[in-house]
Amino acid sequence: MATRGLTIEELHEKRDLIVDAAERLWKAGFDAIEVHAAHGYFLNSFLSPIWNHRDDEYGPQTAESRTLIMKEIYDLIRERCGNDIVIGTRINGQEWSPLQPGAITPEMAVEHAKALESYGYQYISVSGYGYGPLPFRYCPDYFPYPDPEPHMEPYMKDYEDLGILMPSIKAVKEAVNVPVIGVGRMDEVKGERVLRNGYADIIAYGRYLWADPEFPNKVRDGRLDEIRRCTRCASCEDPVTSPRICRVNPSLGRDKELELKPVDKPKKVMVIGGGPAGMQTALDAAAKGHDVTLYESKGELGGRMKLASMIKGNKVEDIIPMLDYLTVQIERSNVKVKLKTEVTPSLVKKEKPDVVAIANSSPYFIPTDLPGVDRKNVFTIPGMSKLAAVPMKMFGPEKLASMSEKFFPVGKRIVVLGAGIEGTQCATFLAHRGKSVVLLSENEDVGGQIPVRYKARIEPWFKDHNVEVIRSAECTSIGKKSVTIKTPEDEREIKCDSVMIMLPERRDGSLYDSLKDLVPEIYEVGSTLGEPHSLLKHAVLDGRVAAVEMD
Ligand SMILES: Cc1cc2nc3c(=O)[nH]c(=O)nc-3n(C[C@H](O)[C@H](O)[C@H](O)COP(=O)(O)O)c2cc1C
Ligand code: SF4
């Protein structure tokens, strides 16, 4: 899209709109106003030479000219609102822009901060921004998925330490006397380190507060194992979900609608399936005062979360803290847990619950009529879960994932059937282990429900990592050392050592059918509904919604 610079009149008009907004906030009783000049917002288009190509007094030539509009805004707000209101600002301490020159460096941010302090701004909140193919924008952590690009490699040390924004936060802190706020992928341990070392005066948390608004209180009270931690899944940034959702906090933005109100008459609730959907349903139903029993056919709770963690890894997103959180919550709740207990119609008849919530997972689809599907070189998700069960118990997902980097005996060339989230993440996992992969998509999509911040990065990465994607491909048979596929263009044979069937879950419904006439109230929750309810975010949200309805 062609852009043009604002005329001076337009510029003043926009400046005055910001001042008007500040005045409204002051009149509404706010104690402080933050003039937002960070990220990709309007005022940053003056500070950042990526955007600022003006040739007048607001141009990119000096820190003073880039911040001139900020000076005017400060003066006008002070004039209108007086001296009692705090006026602070948020700026980019650093920008990353692989395609466009002119990104703000920490040195430039220091100059901006000094100028802003001299105008009167009373605090400086330092954030950052990634443009172009970098997926992180203001969340400085999605870029190492599946691997960081070479130009981002130098930032990995900071990434793994206090975050890639920290050098610029520290630099600004050293340069000014007003309070400096730092942000970016912090937890309580990192935040404490930053404060103790004097790298910033205040820590801002974004996603940690979305995931758990009680986070600061829990830290203060030492209830660290009760924190529902952000898993860095990027679901909250997914434009496909509206309203915005949080994978781990079902009530984000819907507090009133999904409030767990205590019930007058507690019901006897049977929750079937001890994965995240069942755990969330049980917890929420119990929180309302119901008498809840959670049934799990296997020997432990958590469903497939450990397997998912092993496949995904924990470098960028990390789901095990959510499993730990749910486990601790269940232990501390009134939920009764019955492990190794299969729920059958006769058990339901015997227990006579008022409510049943079916939260077990659906079976992954296996095309049983596909010639060769029973061959030894064909692996399925249930088959692999079974194979991994004992080692998973012994070593846990992280160790097992790292062991699989050295030993993963499925041959060198793998064909993966299904390019939804399951197949795509499996292909990434295999490619990370040096396998050469052909990923067959039944349609045009690759990645399925993977949040867009991650999804957009996968195919370019595949190109460099020996993963060939074939779209609109139907596998017609599996041989000992090959598969045959049909595409709109041709029918051909692909040589391979193994085949992995990674097709999504499909609703089974047989348990529901066998129980629906035995109880007055019945729910299906999470992946028991099949696609698209198969993700952790659905488990958590569906569980909450079902519990809210149990009155
Ligand atoms: C979905 C989403 C929307 C955001 N929108 C804004 C915004 O409108 N203004 C802003 O200053 N920061 C915004 N942020 C950035 C946060 O303020 C914060 O700087 C960022 O998430 C990094 O902090 P965290 O790692 O603690 O989440 C947003 C973050 C997310 C995840
Ligand atoms: S949606 Fe995911 S990334 Fe966003 S706050 Fe929730 S857990 Fe964190």
Distance from residue 267's CA to the centre of ligand 1 (Å): 41
**HEC profile of 242-256:** CCCCCCCCCCCCCCC
> Would you say the CB of residue 235 lies under 6 angstroms from ligand 2?
yes
Measured from the Cβ of residue 333, the count of other Cβ atoms closer than 10 Å reads 18
Q: What is the pLDDT of residue 295?
A: 98
List Cβ neighbours of 4 (8 Å cut-off, separation of 6 or more).
none
Sheet bearing 355-358, strands edge to edge? 336-338, 291-295, 268-272, 355-358, 521-524
Report d(CA 282, CA 393) in Å as an integer: 24
> Would you say the CB of residue 251 lies under 6 angstroms from ligand 2?
no
Domain residue spans of the chain:
8-204, 268-363+506-549, 378-501
Atom of ligand 1 nearest to the CA of 163: 25
Q: What is the pLDDT of residue 243?
A: 76
Biggest alpha carbon distance in the chain? 82
- Residue 347 has, within 13 A of its CA and on its CB side, a CA count of 13
Q: Which fold has domain 268-363+506-549?
A: Rossmann fold (3.40.50)
The C-alpha angle 346, 350, 351, rounded to 5 degrees, equals 120
Distance from residue 531's CA to the centre of ligand 1 (Å): 30
Ligand nearest to the CA of 191: 1
**Residue 414 dihedral angles phi and psi, to the nearest 5°:** -125, 135
Report d(CA 73, CA 17) in Å as an integer: 10
DSSP state of 235: G
Ligand nearest to the CA of 89: 1
* Residue among 180, 190, 276 nearest 541 (CA): 276
Give the residue, out of 137, 141, 142, 235, with the most ligand 2 atoms within 8 A of its beta carbon, to mutate for a pocket test. Answer: 235
Q: Which residues line ligand 1 (CB under 6 A)?
A: 36, 39, 90, 127, 138-139, 183-186, 205-208, 236-237
Give how far the C-alpha of residue 409 lies from the chain's centroid of Cα atoms, to the nearest Å: 31
Distance from residue 184's CA to the centre of ligand 1 (Å): 9
> Would you say the CB of residue 325 lies under 6 angstroms from ligand 2?
no
Q: What is the pLDDT of residue 241?
A: 64
Ligand nearest to the CA of 164: 1
Query: What is the ipTM for the molecules in this complex?
Result: 0.99
Distance from residue 245's CA to the centre of ligand 2 (Å): 8
Report d(CA 143, CA 122) in Å as an integer: 33
pLDDT, block means (10 residues), the chain with 551 residues:
90 98 98 97 97 97 98 98 97 95 97 98 97 83 93 95 97 98 97 98 98 98 97 88 87 94 98 98 98 97 95 93 98 98 98 98 95 96 91 95 92 97 97 97 96 93 97 98 97 98 96 98 97 94 98 93
Distance from residue 148's CA to the centre of ligand 2 (Å): 21
Q: What is the pLDDT of residue 244?
A: 83
Report d(CA 438, CA 427) in Å as an integer: 8
Q: What is the pLDDT of residue 239?
A: 74
Q: Which fold has domain 8-204?
A: TIM Barrel (3.20.20)
Under 8 Å between Cβ of 548 and 258 = yes
Q: Residue 438: enclosing H or E segment and its boundaries?
A: strand 436-440
Q: What is the pLDDT of residue 137?
A: 87
> Would you say the CB of residue 465 lies under 6 angstroms from ligand 2?
no
Atom of ligand 1 nearest to the CA of 234: 31
Under 8 Å between Cβ of 146 and 461 = yes
DSSP state of 195: H
DSSP E strand stretches across 487-542: 491-495, 498-501, 521-524
Q: Which CATH superfamily is domain 378-501 in?
A: FAD/NAD(P)-binding domain (3.50.50.60)
Dihedral, CA of residue 108, residue 109, residue 111 and residue 113, to nearest 10: 170
For atom 1 of ligand 2, which residue has the closest CA?
246
